[in-house]
Amino acid sequence: MFPQAVPEPVRLLLPVVGPPASQAGFYLAGGTAAALQLGHRESVDLDFFSPHAFDPERWQGQLARLGNMQVLDTAPGTLHVLLNQVRLSFFHYDYPLIAPTVDYQGLTLASLHDISLMKIASISHRGARKDFVDLYVISTRVWPLAQALDSLPRKFTGRYSLAHLLRSLQYFEDAEREPMPRLIDPSITWPKIKSYFQDQVRLYVRNLRSQTEWLDR
């Protein structure tokens, strides 16, 4: 693990909020879960997900006992708060985990395999630069993009358009309106990231066409 990937307020909060969140069925995903496992960039927000429906008002009452809390927004299945000046978000997320979770200081982390698929889904809605960065590092260090794309049905079961996802992975205009996240690994550059996704999507589409042609014979 790479605790240096998060600032001190987050490091101090993890062992406080992690165990009760895990006991309530939440797991940490998003950029901070990726950064803790990869150490490639800094991340400051904590995004928790649960496959179970939860009561935001009841959960914010439990969080208030852990420190100085301010509610930012609440909706059915969603809660955003500041806890000890750290932004926490909690979501009801009814897609299954495809790989075992990781335990860190009593905190349950989603696997990098699951984070990869969640990043692909996020990019398909709005391509944030940090999502491209995280997916690039996971894809080049842990789980190749083609394998992740092939595994999408295991998580999302027909609730997506592969063509749209592939287009989104090559659409960078929204991301380029944002600054790069604070990187720990200086070898990561935006031109490398763009080239990687353009090359990988082209290769993936070419392989799909080859498979289709073979099946049509």
CB-neighbour burial class of residue 102 (10 A; exposed 0-12, middle 13-18, buried 19+): middle
Asked whether residue 57 falls in the same domain as residue 142, the answer is no
Q: Which of 45, 78, 109 is the last residue of a domain?
A: 109
pLDDT over 90 at 212, yes or no: no
- Could you tell me the pLDDT band of residue 200, with boundaries at 50, 70 and 90? very high
Task: Report the distance separating Cα 14 and Cα 3, nearest Å.
Answer: 10
Domain count, the chain: 2
CB-neighbour burial class of residue 144 (10 A; exposed 0-12, middle 13-18, buried 19+): middle
| pLDDT score at 203 | 96
Asked whether residue 22 falls in the same domain as residue 65, the answer is yes
C-alpha dihedral (27, 30, 32, 38), degrees to nearest 10: 100
pLDDT over 50 at 27, yes or no: yes
pLDDT over 60 at 193, yes or no: yes
- Domain hosting residue 192, numbered range: 112-216
Q: Which of 66, 82, 109 is the last residue of a domain?
A: 109
Q: Which of 109, 124, 155 is the last residue of a domain?
A: 109
Global pTM value:
0.94
| pLDDT score at 215 | 46
| 3 state SS of 51 | coil
pLDDT digits (tens, 9 = 90+) for 156-186: 987 789 999 999 999 999 999 999 999 999 9
Question: What average pLDDT does the structure give for the chain?
Answer: 95
**Looking at the DSSP assignment, which residues form a beta bridge with residue 81?**
71, 88
- Could you tell me the pLDDT band of residue 127, with boundaries at 50, 70 and 90? confident
Asked whether residue 116 falls in the same domain as residue 212, the answer is yes
Task: Report the distance separating Cα 180 and Cα 128, nearest Å.
Answer: 10
Question: Left (φ > 0), alpha (ψ -120 to 50) or beta: where does 157 sit?
Answer: left
pLDDT over 60 at 216, yes or no: no
Task: Report the distance separating Cα 35 and Cα 41, nearest Å.
Answer: 6
